[in-house]
Amino acid sequence: MYDAAVILQQTFQKFYLWLMASIFRFKQFEVDQSNCAMKINTDGVLLASLVDTKGAKRVLDVGTGTGVIALMLAQRLIDSHIEAVEIDALAAEMASRNFSNSIFGSRLVLHAKSFQQLRTGEHYDLIVSNPPFYTDSLHNPDARKKLARHSDLDFFRELLHFASLHLTSGGKLVLILPTQLAETLTALAIDHGLHCTAEIQIRSFDGDPVIRKIVTFGRLQITAIDQAEFVIYQSKGVYSESYKNALAPYFLAF
């Protein structure tokens, strides 16, 4: 009889291989990520599943990559129109194909360009991004991964400026970021007339340091930020109930 720990490890390994497979199958759509420098990751799926989407009819996903965030939001928001921008040509082509192959294709639009190049008079109720954030890391020798993940604060200043111009009066910019960068952007946002209104603090295990924050910016300045906690793992290799509940509408594994 197999030891329970061995069975658990094998199950986790199978899940990891499934996660990294070229075709990632969700309950209502599939994502081909074979030509994307940055594969589907925990940050992206948590952002898409945890972001407050109340009142969001027109949505923009900045740096869509595989298109997974836009697709998950399309599943959540059945009456929404969702646009996505992607600067990497191969990833943009793949995301466009993923959109077309989904049942949400008529509500999804892909712009193969950077958000800075997006010429639009549209205003969005929700702008989301799982952005490049390795602002102080060594340069990545893989050019496409460098494009996908390396940046400096100018990128974020430009994103904040873009949001200040293209959010509706009650619109929100929501980013998933490392803790220190989230604090830096909270200060920078004020220069663009945006203020942090909510944050979700994400930890690997209960009691661990915060590894990511999902930060919400809006035009309204409030005295008390709405704060929530989210823990990914119950124990090593075992996802928390919160994680499973958040991803259950999407992941076949749950």
Q: Helices 179-189 and 153-166 meet at what angle, rounded to 10? A: 50
The pTM of the full predicted model, rounded to 2 decimals, is 0.85
Does position 5 have pLDDT exceeding 80, yes or no? no
Question: Rounded mean pLDDT of 210-233?
Answer: 96
pLDDT in tens, 159-193: 999 999 999 999 999 999 999 999 999 999 999 99
Count CB-CB contacts under 10 A for residue 17: 9
Instruction: Name the percent of the chain lying above pLDDT 70.
Output: 84
136 or 77, which is more confident:
77
3-state secondary structure (DSSP) of residue 66:
coil
225 or 120, which is more confident:
225
3-state secondary structure (DSSP) of residue 8:
helix
CA distance 175 to 212: 10
Superfamily of chain region 4-247: Vaccinia Virus protein VP39 (3.40.50.150)
Q: What is the pLDDT of residue 224?
A: 92
pLDDT in tens, 77-135: 999 999 999 999 999 999 999 999 999 999 999 999 999 999 888 899 999 999 976 44
CA distance 64 to 184: 23
User: In the predicted model, what is the mean pLDDT of the chain?
Assistant: 89
Query: What's phi and psi for 234, nearest 5 deg?
Result: -80, -40
| CB-CB contact of 75 with 249 (8 Å) | yes
Q: What is the DSSP letter of 237?
A: T
Pick from 89, 53, 90: which is nearest to 70 by CA?
53
Helices (H), 80-202: 89-100, 143-149, 153-166, 179-189
Q: Give the confidence band of 63 by pLDDT, cuts at 50, 70, 90.
A: very high
